Amino acid sequence: MRYKSANDHYKERFGRKMYKASVSLNVTCPNRDGSKGTGGCIFCSEGGSGEFSPDASVPVSEQIDMAVSKVFSKAGPDAGYIAYFQSFTNTYCDTGYLRKAIEEAIAHPKILAVSIGTRPDCLPENMVTMLGEMAKDIPVYIEMGLQTSSDRTALLINRCYETQEFADAVSRLKNAGINVIAHVIFGLPGETVEDMMDTVRYVVDSRCDGIKFTCLYVLRNTVLEKMYLNKEFETLTMKEYFDIVEQALEIIPDDMTVHRLTGDGPKRLLIAPEWTKNKRSAVNYINRRFGNG
Ligand code: SF4
């Protein structure tokens, strides 16, 4: 099934293969520090959705050096890198702090773009203006966790912002020349396949440039773990999940980039579903079923 993958997009935009170099900042999330909520989204672990991220106390340039050296032998000398500010909410800080971190990242010779993970309710006008200024010098991607367009499910997962804020943020970011990627989770408790397709349609209608799909996985020491152990919901099988992905791909327009068909949780924390522990078999399955040729 043909769709525009991240590799297709990067080839078009950068003329080469691109890799992500994770960078951690000293930030938290309004959903954890009490300003919006406490405890975080029910699926989110202590690491703030960035389990594979480096230590925030290490200077940004050194974090990038470490990330590049990890993949360099596989990536080769011509690959480009995107500094990926992944854990927690990276615009939940002073604009000066983030600007300095971005400047340090883009001064690194391997970095050709930056990608910043955040929430739509943490993008005040001065932050969007600063990011828009940066986007004049280097491609800037903003990755926002939507997960679902259902405000009912959003309440259940303790997302702590209303869906309408997402569309509003997308439009302000796009006006500032920023590429916007939505994160969506399939398999949230209580959601039907039609709810999930509504979320995909919502992302398409909000005119995001890209989308990332993830299967809901249960991590240790989360509220979701308690719900799972209480048998309040079941996780998706690999076939069920990719059947949903296939339906979603039918809705996605040709010019929207599908950055990821599924994610993989940290093995040491992962409780379920079992199949997401075996990355190689999931990748083989994806290649067989969705081989992008
Ligand atoms: S907004 Fe992101 S970092 Fe914060 S609790 Fe939710 S998933 Fe975790």
What does the alpha-carbon distance between residue 179 and residue 173 come to, in Å, rounded to a whole number?
A: 8
252 contact partners, CB below 8 Å, separation of at least 6: 3, 200, 204, 211, 258
The residue behind tokens 């009490």 is: 34
**Please, is 147 exposed, middle or buried when counting C-beta atoms within 10 Å of its C-beta (0-12, 13-18, 19+)?**
buried
**In this predicted model, what pLDDT tens digit does every residue of 214-226 receive, in sequence order?**
999 999 999 999 9
Measured from the Cα of 89, ligand 1's closest atom is 3
- Band of the pLDDT at 89, cuts 50, 70, 90? very high
Q: Long-range contact list for 194-198, CB < 8 A, 24+ apart?
A: 195/148, 195/150, 195/153, 196/148, 196/244, 196/248, 197/247, 197/248, 197/251, 198/149, 198/150
Minimal-distance CA residue to ligand 1 atom 3: 88
Minimal-distance CA residue to ligand 1 atom 5: 40
Kind of pairing, strands 4-5 and 179-186?
unpaired
- Band of the pLDDT at 279, cuts 50, 70, 90? confident
Q: What is the CATH number of the domain that holds 272?
A: 3.20.20.70
What does the alpha-carbon distance between residue 192 and residue 195 come to, in Å, rounded to a whole number?
A: 5
Tell whether the model's pLDDT for residue 287 goes beyond 90: no
pLDDT value at residue 171: 98
Total number of domains constituting the chain = 1
Q: Residue 271 is part of which domain span?
A: 4-290
For a substitution probing ligand 1, which of 35, 44, 166 has the most ligand atoms within 8 Å of its CB?
A: 44
The residue behind tokens 């703030």 is: 48
- Band of the pLDDT at 293, cuts 50, 70, 90? very low
- Band of the pLDDT at 50, cuts 50, 70, 90? low
Average pLDDT taken over every residue of the chain:
94
CB 211 within 8 A of CB 181: yes
**What distance in angstroms lies between residue 99's CA and the mean position of ligand 1's atoms?**
22
pLDDT value at residue 166: 98
**What distance in angstroms lies between residue 14's CA and the mean position of ligand 1's atoms?**
30
| Ligand 1 binding pocket, CB closer than 6 Å | 29, 31-32, 40-41, 44, 48-49, 88-89, 119, 145
257 contact partners, CB below 8 Å, separation of at least 6: 4, 5, 6, 8, 9, 181, 209, 210, 211
